[in-house]
Amino acid sequence: MSNQISTAMPPLYTRKGAYIPRVAAVHDMCGYGKCSLGIAIPVLSAAGVDVCPVPTALFSAHTKFPVFYMHDTTEMLEQYLDAWQKEGIDLDGIYSGFLGSAEQVAIIQRLYREYPDALRIVDPVMGDGGSKYPTYTDEMCEAMKGLVDGADILTPNLTEASILTGIPYEGQDVDVAFIQKNVDALFSMGAKSVVIKGIVHQGEQIIRNYLATADLNEGAATEISSELLPYMLHGTGDLFASGLTAAIYTGRNLNDAVSFAGKLVRDAMTITCAQPDYEVRGVSFEPVLGDVTALLS
């Protein structure tokens, strides 16, 4: 993708002079394995963003490992944000992902109230392949619906869209009408723009993402595709959402940001398969951080 900014869709954020935007990254932190804050912090930093972490949980390793330790941080978060308020910290964005408990939805909603002008980017990390992640309960999934209303950008995969909307999951090989049905349901819940990720038609080497904005083209979903590689990796969803967010804060519009994020994931995955234990450890994004920094030029 070219670094030139398309004018077909207005940007959601415009950088002004030398100002460095500040974004709260509300995600978990894993000691081992590529995901969550371990991806969000370096990717957004490479785009010239001041990343302000709000850790929702601490993990020894991500949940694809058969053994992991999790520490839920819910009890500390109110005081954590109280301290931010006392310091007068300002934010330009709130980018949320994996949560440690249902109560943490209220923490994010508090941030929305205290920073009403901040962009709301919601990656509703709950599951994949038709199943919830091991730490997600029905209560947590129900609470996550509260983050759809007012989301400037919502980035579910098909499993997460199903959980949020109640539309039954039908696998990854679905038609545009099914995507539009999910998009319309998420619009009715209050989302402003939706990116549904990871549609794959049997026998094809293409992965499709669909972008729709409620007030453009009558909310019709537009396909943005990239090359499908013949293996799956942990952390690619986090890399996609972080790459998209990075592009947004360099002034790219949402169409260009989705395109950039898809290419970033593909390029990182190409590098990853040369690493030891890559199937479990996750996507090796470090060598492509220069592509993120290039967005600033």
- Half-sphere exposure at residue 282, Cβ-oriented, CA atoms within 13 angstroms: 22
Is there a domain that residue 4 lies in?
A: no
Confidence of residue 76 (pLDDT cuts 50, 70, 90): very high
Scan for tokens 């100002």, then name that residue.
19
Q: Which of 187, 200, 255 is CA-nearest to residue 232?
A: 200
Neighbouring residues of 66: CB distance < 8 A, sequence distance ≥ 6? none
pLDDT at 5: 44
Give the three-class secondary structure for 265.
helix
Is there a domain that residue 2 lies in?
A: no
Q: Which of 126, 144, 118, 149 is CA-nearest to residue 245?
A: 118
Domain count, the chain: 1
Is there a domain that residue 11 lies in?
A: no
Is there a domain that residue 14 lies in?
A: no
Is there a domain that residue 99 lies in?
A: yes
* DSSP H or E run through 213: strand 206-213
**The token pair that represents 65 in the structure block:** 């490992």
**The token pair that represents 58 in the structure block:** 């601490």
State pLDDT tens for residues 50-75: 999 999 999 999 988 989 999 999 99
**The token pair that represents 61 in the structure block:** 């390793």
Is there a domain that residue 129 lies in?
A: yes
Domain span at 91: 22-291
State pLDDT tens for residues 95-153: 999 999 999 999 999 999 999 999 999 999 999 999 998 889 999 999 999 999 999 99
- The whole-angstrom separation of Cα 232 and Cα 219 is 30
- pLDDT higher than threshold 80 for residue 230: yes
Is there a domain that residue 7 lies in?
A: no
CA 263, 268, 96, 207: dihedral to nearest 10 degrees? Answer: 50
Q: pLDDT higher for 43 or 9?
A: 43
Is there a domain that residue 147 lies in?
A: yes
How far is residue 261 from each of residues 43, 246, 271, 289, measured CA to CA in Å? 11, 9, 16, 12
Q: What is the Rg, in whole angstroms, of the alpha carbon atoms belonging to the chain? A: 18
Return the CATH number at 135: 3.40.1190.20
Residue pair 257/13 in contact (Cβ under 8 Å)? The answer is: no
Give the three-class secondary structure for 205.
coil
Over residues 265-282, the mean pLDDT reads 94
Mean of per-residue pLDDT scores for the chain: 94
pLDDT at 135: 85
- pLDDT higher than threshold 60 for residue 159: yes
Q: Which of 43, 181, 19 is CA-nearest to residue 121?
A: 43
